[in-house]
Amino acid sequence: MTGPRLALAAALLWSCTSPVADANSWWSLAMNPIQRPEMYIIGAQPVCSQLPGLSPGQRKLCQLYQEHMVFIGEGARSAIKECQYQFRQRRWNCSTVDNTSVFGRVMKIGSRETAFTYAVSAAGVVNAISRACREGELSSCGCSRTARPKDLPRDWLWGGCGDNVEYGYRFAKEFVDAKEREKNYVRGSEEQARMLMNLQNNEAGRRAVYKLADVACKCHGVSGSCSLKTCWLQLADFRKVGDLLKEKYDSAAAMRISRKGKLELVNNRFNMPTQEDLVYVDPSPDYCLRNETTGSLGTQGRLCNKTSEGMDGCELMCCGRGYDQFKSVQVERCHCKFHWCCYVKCKKCTEIVDQYVCK
């Protein structure tokens, strides 16, 4: 056993004993219903002590910011949904497996997929908290106080109620990073490598939301003349954040821990990643077969595209095992007509289509 196989075997052996990726995670807030803020009693510990997946540091933050927890859950849900969208046509499709670890043992491997998951989850929290501030849901923040952009025309007003991405960024950094920062690991150890990897990817996710936030404006004037404009800072659609992080996933940098306790490039021919880039420390499993050790669910039974040469194609998705064909009935709206006034009437059309699943 040499080369990549040996490296992967070592990664899997370490992942089975690593304390860095605990079975429970704050991601589980997405899977369990959380009380609305108005139902909290300020300073009441039982609420926070009953929430699953929180580290000691995160539990303390929960006690201080109980009304934030429902929005952290919303951020985690949007992150999981986005992850599943971005990887819907990949062998690893970001499947959730339970209500505590959410993604299962696959997160114990410091792979590209894990890097993306940490980044998009941190981004989800920034997104949800920033918006909650603007909507007046949190007592500790309000509308954005971002300074007026220098390139904004002088006759345009600045100061509409914008998304408070500054507060969202700061709170997400405090909460999401708490789990990584509260433990001390031996300098140069594999555990420290994984901690630094997680912190780097958390930061990349937060910065993606911050970077994509942009100025939005609304016209005012008689009969829509737009003689006056009011502008504010607005978050980008979260799909754009997911698209950006998916690009970062494709160009993620392979790293290793140095004796000085810092991440360094495995291949020095590449540029050192910035704080906006994703990094990983372990090679990815191929996700072809179900493997309880790695947490891979395999691709058996997955739908594939017979005509595609991409990752969703039957050859790659099924890992060369072949596929079965079956016919399914699809019902769609068709022959739609607009009737005056004012409704659309459609018929239902039935079509028998061929579909393919991996053996």
pLDDT at 224 (0 to 100) = 63
Cα–Cα dist 161/135, whole Å = 9
pLDDT at 41 (0 to 100) = 53
Which distant-in-sequence residues (6+ apart) come within 8 Å of 4 by Cβ? 283
Which distant-in-sequence residues (6+ apart) come within 8 Å of 295 by Cβ? 97, 103, 104, 105, 106, 107, 108, 109
Interstrand relation of 279-280 and 228-234 (parallel, antiparallel or unpaired): unpaired
pLDDT at 6 (0 to 100) = 40
pLDDT at 252 (0 to 100) = 96
| Buried/exposed 261-295: b ≥16 CB within 10 Å, e otherwise | eebeeeeeeeeebeebbbbbbbbbbebbeebeebb
pLDDT at 68 (0 to 100) = 95
Q: Sheet holding 303-304: strands in order across? A: 303-304, 343-358, 323-339
SS3 at position 307: coil
CA dihedral sign of residues 290, 55, 278, 255: negative
Which amino acid, 168? G
Cα–Cα dist 29/128, whole Å = 13
DSSP H/E element including 253: strand 253-257
Cα–Cα dist 350/330, whole Å = 6
Radius of gyration of the chain (CA): 24
SS3 at position 31: coil
pLDDT at 98 (0 to 100) = 79
Cα–Cα dist 338/293, whole Å = 56
CA dihedral sign of residues 304, 308, 314, 316: negative
* Predicted confidence (pLDDT) per residue in 103-149, tens digit: 888 999 999 999 999 999 999 999 999 999 999 999 999 999 888 88
DSSP H/E element including 131: helix 112-134
Cα–Cα dist 26/45, whole Å = 17
CA dihedral sign of residues 273, 278, 284, 287: negative
Q: What domains, with CATH codes, occur in the chain?
A: 3-298 (no CATH), 301-359 (3.30.2460.20)
Low-confidence ranges of the chain (pLDDT < 70): 1-23, 33, 35-46, 221-224
| DSSP-derived secondary structure letter, 101 | S
SS3 at position 140: coil
